[in-house]
Amino acid sequence: MALQPRNISDAGLRRLAAYHKVLQEMLLAGTPTVSATGIARVLALEPSQVRKDIEATGIAGKPKVGYPLAVLIRWIEDFLGWNNTKQAVLAGAGSLGSALLGYQKFRQLGMDIVAVFDNDPLKVGRTIHGKQVFFPDKLPSFALGAHIHLGVIATPASAAQATADLMVAGGIRALWNFAPAHLRVPDFVVVRNEDLYDSLASLTYKLEKRMAAERKAAAEVCAPVESAVVLLDACTW
């Protein structure tokens, strides 16, 4: 009765992270087991989708009960690589970079930023959130020597490609890019763009569509002359 291994989509990986958060809250509440149905209810998803995502981790559940909570959390963490902490380097110690540096929770998510690189002479040599700042030209040898494979880019967009090149030269295999720039890297490097432009795009598009729909609906209710009197009190202006 072994579970068959499944491919998981990017969306599925993100959902697993969401389940992880929900599960930890449930753990605090003392629940011993959890069902896919239960998770789905909290996150407003389809139970079968939650089950499929969880299947990807390889854990087996029991009918009628679900999954043992603590074990499921552990399997998700193992599956996502969060129990195998990876050291990381950060480039760009500006306002965003500093915020990332000060963010304690990354450790729990398998990432530990161990060094910072910035080309501002005023910042080099100083310490930010306990991490020393170096010149970017030291990055490749440092990363190679420390066997670091994860890099975070928080430089201006104009410096992002050069920074990525340095990181790749330093043996970095995964890039977390916060600059609004498209990076060209070799095939063996994974890139995740955390581009706020892209995110805002869908938000502003949907907001605009929604507001337009509301204006239209309001117009339909209030505009027709023949029903104006009847519907007047439905309009608040």
Ligand X SMILES: NC(=O)c1ccc[n+]([C@@H]2O[C@H](COP(=O)([O-])OP(=O)(O)OC[C@H]3O[C@@H](n4cnc5c(N)ncnc54)[C@H](O)[C@@H]3O)[C@@H](O)[C@H]2O)c1
Partner DNA sequence: ACGGAATCGAGAAGACTTTCTCGATAAGGA
Partner DNA sequence: TCCTTATCGAGAAAGTCTTCTCGATTCCGT
Contacting residues toward DNA, per CB under 7 A: 1-4, 7, 9-12, 35-38, 45-49, 51-52, 54-55, 60-67
Say how far apart CA 91 and CA 167 lie, in whole Å: 9
Binding partner of residue 47 among a copy of itself, ligand X, DNA, none, CB under 5 to 8 Å per kind?
A: DNA
Residue 36 vs 89, nearer CB to ligand X:
89
Which strand (E) or helix (H) includes residue 150? strand 150-153
The site string for a copy of itself over 111-130 (x = CB under 8 A, - otherwise) reads x-------------------
Say how far apart CA 158 and CA 205 lie, in whole Å: 27
Say how far apart CA 56 and CA 85 lie, in whole Å: 21
Residue 81 vs 224, nearer CB to a copy of itself:
81
CB atoms within 10 A of CB 134: 19
Binding partner of residue 70 among a copy of itself, ligand X, DNA, none, CB under 5 to 8 Å per kind?
A: none
Q: How big is the site for a copy of itself, counted in residues (CB under 8 A)?
A: 58
Residue 81 vs 94, nearer CB to ligand X:
94
Q: Which residues is 87 bridged to in the sheet?
A: 112
The site string for ligand X over 187-216 (x = CB under 6 A, - otherwise) reads ---------x--------------------
Q: Residue written as tokens 């050291």?
A: 87
Residue 116 Cβ vs ligand X, minimum distance, rounded to whole Å? 9
Say how far apart CA 163 and CA 117 lie, in whole Å: 10
Q: Which residues is 112 bridged to in the sheet?
A: 87
Q: Is 70 in the site for a copy of itself (CB under 8 A)?
A: no
Q: Is 17 in the site for a copy of itself (CB under 8 A)?
A: yes
The first and second tokens of residue 18, run together, are: 């969401």
User: Which ranges of 131-233 does DSSP label H, i.e. alpha helix?
Assistant: 139-146, 157-169, 196-222, 228-231
Which residues ranging from 162 to 181 are in contact with ligand X (CB under 6 A)? Answer: 162-163, 178-180
Binding partner of residue 60 among ligand X, a copy of itself, DNA, none, CB under 5 to 8 Å per kind?
A: DNA
Say how far apart CA 129 and CA 142 lie, in whole Å: 19
